[in-house]
Amino acid sequence: MNLERADQIAKAVLYEGYMLYPYRPSSVKNQQRWNFGVVYPEAFSDAQGGSEPTSLQTECLVRGNASTVVEVKLRFLQLQRRRMRQSSLATGSLPDGWQEAVEREVGLPEFSLEELCFQTAIHPFRFPSQTQVCSENDSGGGLVAIVERRQETVEGSVDISARKVRDSLFTVRIHARNILFLENGTSGRDEALMHSLVSTHLVLGVQSGEFISLLEPPSELQELAANCQNRSVWPVLVGEEGQHDTLLASPIILYDYPKIAPESAGDLFDGTEIDEILSLRIMTLTEEEKNEIRQSDDRARHILERTDAMPAEQFMKLHGAVRGMRPLKEGAP
């Protein structure tokens, strides 16, 4: 796998919508988050009339042979609820019950295409509930708060199979499900999210073979590519242009070989983010608004500190860049 490039893009996918500008928990935009790649427990989906997804599926084309090896990683955020047991913080701190996120990765064993054609590989996983209590101190070491963080059980399964569709060409299917049984159902979306896979996506690798682009397949493979069934994810090639060993199945629509702009100083989390505009808006926040962000979680606070400390020459780079130019064809308007 081209894990370095895949990790850059996957990080952006994981936290797309984590906390939107103006990065204050009290802002209306941040009252309902986690809109991308949520895989809910079945009980919650049933209560919503089946409208919420309980699984995702990606199908892709692999050129190889029986000994070609497929690697799969399922990645998602598991939410945890933050409650204050004791606090000396002034108003503007995080609301009680604020949902934070912990990154999870489920690495599956490697399988050959021959094995996957013969039998579906089923890989269950489980992250049990747990509670942590910790103290939070100010810059001088003084106790500011005692905080409880609670995670609820998350349980799922990843199924992998393959079938040969032509000589040296296979369709690989990965089906990830939330299989947690909630005996008493759920009391609402916030409760269901605590048992859900959030910002869920897959990173696939292949050894001694190659993935076929589903966006721009060779003409002779267009029909097979069109027949690949993808639900709740969008598979694209990842790495340097022309590489075919890594595929990212993303909950947001991307193009093949997506890249993080080198001018970007770091993630901003906001959907369809534009670094220059968001950075300018962060600079216009009042000191009271900035204090609320500082009392928020580490990721939001880091955005504020990074923007406030950004040198002028770095900021100017956000204004735009010409990646390349090509001559117009003769007769073109």
| Percent residues over pLDDT 90 in the chain | 48
pLDDT over 70 at 333, yes or no = no
DSSP code of residue 31: S
pLDDT over 90 at 4, yes or no = no
Alpha-carbon gap, residue 319 to 10, rounded angstroms = 25
Per-residue pLDDT band for 1 (boundaries 50, 70, 90) equals low
Contact 204, 62 (CB under 8 A): no
pLDDT over 70 at 320, yes or no = no
Helix, strand, coil share (%) of the chain residues, nearest 5: 20, 35, 45
What are the pLDDT digits (tens) for 259-290?
776 666 667 776 656 777 777 788 888 888 88
For residues 20 and 188, the model is more confident at 188
DSSP code of residue 231: B
For residues 285 and 174, the model is more confident at 174
- Which residues in 167-277 belong to E strands, given as ranges? 169-178, 198-207, 210-212, 234-237, 246-250
What are the pLDDT digits (tens) for 225-269?
999 999 999 999 998 889 999 999 999 888 999 877 666 666 777
For residues 333 and 287, the model is more confident at 287
Least trusted range by pLDDT, from 156-165, 168-177, 200-209, 270-279 = 270-279
Q: What is the four-CA torsion angle of 200, 279, 29, 102, rounded to 10 degrees?
A: 30
- Average pLDDT of span 116-133: 96
- Which residues in the chain belong to E strands, given as ranges? 55-63, 69-87, 98-107, 111-112, 121-127, 130-137, 143-151, 154-166, 169-178, 198-207, 210-212, 234-237, 246-250
Half-sphere exposure of 92 (CA within 13 A, CB side): 12
Residue carrying the six token digits 């949902």:
99
Mean pLDDT, the chain, as a whole number?
Answer: 85
Alpha-carbon gap, residue 312 to 326, rounded angstroms = 31
pLDDT for the residue numbered 205: 95
pLDDT for the residue numbered 272: 58
pLDDT for the residue numbered 197: 96
What are the pLDDT digits (tens) for 80-108?
998 877 766 554 456 778 888 899 999 99
Judge residue 270's burial from the number of C-beta atoms within 10 Å of its C-beta, 0-12 exposed, 13-18 middle, 19 or more buried.
Answer: buried
pLDDT for the residue numbered 92: 46
- Average pLDDT of span 290-301: 79
DSSP code of residue 14: H
What are the pLDDT digits (tens) for 192-220?
999 999 999 999 999 999 999 999 999 99
